[in-house]
């Protein structure tokens, strides 16, 4: 292990954890990153920061990308180092990755055979339409020339390819209100919802394979709201539904499938549809990253900003030091050993 690297990475991540940056409140952290990187970085507007190369030159352009925001605090600030871990809000998702990015931006490997850029952006933890990344890619056309983007989402130092699309919808059931002592004179909307929910519950995941990776299409009822009082048969019930769909399925086709499942039972309103992210095909830089770290490759059974890049035709994958099982938890943490492994893997990759 290089002298000082372990402590330098862990201390940097702890420093970033201790700058609160809940979604829409990332300004202080963006300013902090700008201050730490000094002349190596620039303010790209809308709580976005760019550093290093931001357009393609004579060599391949590789971007490391990470979001500045976290989910709301759960009594997990300030952070701390203990027993080989950095603990605190955002430690896994994704201030561990931001720490690795900052350290690489401060000391990029001189033997690198690619040009390296860094993209720090906000509002990733909010619905897709509020992300600061897509507008940034519109303002900065040079970023769209990248040969590969490494989105440093928590993957526990595996390579996660692609990402599933994500639909959030509201399913509304209508009935006729009445007295609960005479329910035959009413039409119970909650009972109607129960029939529809039972049919969703009976659905099996649908597997889709791409490049030897299996993504699963799944639909879940995630919240239920209904009822007025214990002696009233309700005339309305709403169910929030979430659908995850595989790469290769368009946002329009996924929405049509969800409507076909839900609309025989109730009205469906699509609240948001974040498209899936493609699996890069034949990109030599992806193979080079896998070789640099001896990485396991898995499908990303979640939505990530890979979709925002791939939607513009930019090859992107997920790779980062955070462990997904700790993301968004009260006891969020990242192992210091994982920080070192991520940094060393990226250095080997850049210098291949």
Residues that are catalytic = 69, 124
Phi and psi at 145, nearest 5°, equal -90, 0
> Concatenated DSSP letters for 280-336?
P-S-HHHHHHHHHHT--EEE--S--THHHHHTTT--EEE--SS-GGGTT-TT-EEEH
The contacts of residue 28 (CB under 8 Å, 6+ apart) are 19, 20, 21
CA 28 to chain centre: 21
- Residue owning tokens 């969703």: 200
Phi and psi at 193, nearest 5°, equal -60, -40
The contacts of residue 262 (CB under 8 Å, 6+ apart) are 169, 171, 196, 200, 241, 268
From CA 287, how far away is CA 120, in angstroms rounded? Answer: 25
Q: What single-letter DSSP state applies at residue 19?
A: S
- Bridge partners, residue 303, by sequence: none
> Concatenated DSSP letters for 163-202?
B-EEEEEEEEEE-B-EETT-GGGSB-HHHHHHHHHHHHHT
């Amino acid at each position: 292990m290089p002298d000082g690297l372990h402590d330098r990475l862990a201390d940097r991540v702890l420093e970033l954890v201790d700058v609160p940056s809940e979604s829409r409140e990332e300004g202080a952290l963006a300013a902090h990153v700008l201050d730490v990187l000094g002349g190596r970085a620039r303010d790209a507007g809308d709580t976005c920061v760019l550093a290093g190369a931001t357009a393609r030159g004579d060599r391949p352009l590789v971007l490391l990308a990470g979001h500045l925001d976290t989910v709301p605090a759960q009594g997990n600030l300030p952070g701390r180092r203990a027993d080989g871990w950095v603990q605190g809000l955002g430690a896994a998702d994704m201030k561990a990755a931001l720490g690795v990015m900052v350290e690489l931006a401060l000391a990029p490997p001189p033997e690198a055979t690619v040009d390296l850029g860094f993209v720090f952006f906000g509002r990733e933890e909010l619905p897709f339409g509020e992300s600061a990344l897509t507008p940034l890619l519109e303002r900065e056309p040079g970023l769209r020339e990248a040969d590969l983007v490494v989105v440093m989402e928590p993957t526990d130092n595996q390579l996660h390819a692609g990402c599933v699309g994500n639909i959030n919808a509201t399913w509304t059931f209508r009935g006729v209100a009445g007295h609960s002592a005479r329910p035959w004179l009413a039409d119970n909307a909650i009972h109607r919802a129960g029939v529809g929910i039972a049919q969703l519950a009976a659905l099996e995941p649908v597997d889709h394979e791409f490049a030897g990776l299996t993504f699963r299409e799944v639909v879940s009822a995630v919240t239920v709201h209904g009822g007025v009082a214990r002696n009233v048969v309700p005339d309305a019930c709403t169910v929030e539904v979430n659908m995850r769909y595989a790469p290769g399925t368009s946002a329009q086709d996924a929405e049509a499938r969800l409507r076909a499942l839900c609309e025989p039972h109730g009205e469906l309103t699509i609240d948001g549809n974040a498209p899936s992210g493609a699996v890069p095909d034949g990109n030599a830089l992806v193979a080079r990253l896998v070789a640099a770290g001896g990485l396991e490759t898995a499908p990303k059974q979640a939505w990530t900003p890979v979709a925002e890049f791939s939607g513009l035709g930019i090859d992107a994958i997920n790779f980062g030091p955070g462990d997904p099982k700790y993301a968004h938890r009260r006891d969020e943490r990242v192992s210091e050993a994982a920080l070192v492994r991520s940094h060393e893997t990226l250095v080997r990759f850049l210098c291949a």
